Structure 1
Amino acid sequence: MEEEILTGGGVNHVVRVGDTVRRPTGPWTPTVHALLAHLAAVGFTGAPEAHGLDGQGREVLDFVPGEVGAPPPAGRHGDARLVAAGRLLRAFHDATTGYRAPAGAHWYFAPRAPAEVMCHGDVAPYNTVFRQGLPVALIDFDTAHPGPRIWDVAYAAYRFAPLTVAPEEGAVSTAEQARRLRLFADAYGLAEEDRTALVDTAIARLEHLVAHMKAQAAAGSAAFAGHLAAGHHVHYRTDMDHLARCSDELTRALLG
Structure 2
Amino acid sequence: MSDEAMVGGVNTVVRIGERVHRPAGEWTPAVHAVLDHLAAKGFTGAPRAHGFDAEGWEVLDFVPGDVPGSEMVVSDEALAAMAVLLRGLHDATADFVPPAAAAWYFEPREPFDVVCHGDVAPYNTVFRDGRPVALIDFDTAHPGSRVWDVAYAAYRFVQLVEEGAPAGEQARRLALFADAYGLGEPDRAVLIDTVVARLEHLVGFMRSQAAAGHPAFSRHVAEGHDSYYLRNIAFVERHRAVLGAALE
Q: TM-score, normalised by structure 1?
A: 0.94
Q: Distance in 1 between matches of 2:141 and 2:161?
A: 24
Equivalence for 1:224 = 217
Amino acid at match of 1:69: P
Name segments (4+ residues, structure 1) moved above 4 Å.
Answer: none
Equivalence for 1:136 = 133
Instruction: State whether residues 29 and 142 of structure 1, in contact with CA within 8 Å, keep that contact through their aligned partners in structure 2.
Output: yes
Q: Distance in 1 between matches of 2:99 and 2:186?
A: 31
Structure 2: runs of 5+ lacking an equivalent: none
Q: What SS does the aligned partner of 1:81 have? A: helix
Q: Distance in 1 between matches of 2:204 and 2:5?
A: 29
Equivalent runs, 1:159-198 vs 2, <5 Å:
159-166=156-163, 171-198=164-191
Q: 1:69 Cα shift? A: 1.9
Equivalence for 2:5 = 5
Equivalent runs, 1:8-27 vs 2, <5 Å:
9-27=8-26
Q: What SS does the aligned partner of 2:140 have? A: coil
Equivalence for 1:35 = 34
Q: Distance in 2 between matches of 1:164 and 1:180?
A: 13
Amino acid at match of 1:239: N
Q: Distance in 1 between matches of 2:172 and 2:153?
A: 15
Equivalence for 1:59 = 58
Q: 1:229 Cα shift? A: 0.7
Q: Distance in 1 between matches of 2:4 and 2:84?
A: 31
Equivalence for 2:87 = 90
Q: What SS does the aligned partner of 1:61 have? A: strand
Q: What SS does the aligned partner of 1:22 have? A: strand
Amino acid at match of 1:21: V
Q: What SS does the aligned partner of 2:115 have? A: strand
Instruction: State whether residues 2 and 17 of structure 1, in contact with CA within 8 Å, keep that contact through their aligned partners in structure 2.
Output: yes
Instruction: State whether residues 73 and 158 of structure 2, in contact with CA within 8 Å, keep that contact through their aligned partners in structure 1.
Output: no
The answer on 1:44 being equivalent to 2:43 is yes
Q: 1:6 Cα shift? A: 1.8
Q: Distance in 2 between matches of 1:48 and 1:137?
A: 8
Q: Distance in 2 between matches of 1:131 and 1:125?
A: 13
Q: What SS does the aligned partner of 1:110 have? A: coil
Q: 1:72 Cα shift? A: 3.0
Structure 1: runs of 5+ lacking an equivalent: none
Q: Percent identity?
A: 60
Q: 1:201 Cα shift? A: 0.4
Q: 1:35 Cα shift? A: 0.6
Q: Distance in 2 between matches of 1:43 and 1:243?
A: 37
Q: TM-score, normalised by structure 2?
A: 0.97
Q: Distance in 1 between matches of 2:99 and 2:193?
A: 32
Q: What SS does the aligned partner of 2:20 have? A: strand
- The partner residue of 1:149 within 141, 146, 149 is 146
Equivalence for 2:108 = 111
The answer on 1:203 being equivalent to 2:211 is no
Q: How big is each residue's C-alpha offset from its partner over 1:58-94, in whole Å with a ceiling of 9 and x where there is no partner?
A: 1000000000126335xxxx00010000000000000
Q: 1:5 Cα shift? A: 1.5
Cα RMSD (Å): 1.0
Q: Distance in 1 between matches of 2:133 and 2:6?
A: 19
Q: Distance in 1 between matches of 2:36 and 2:220?
A: 32
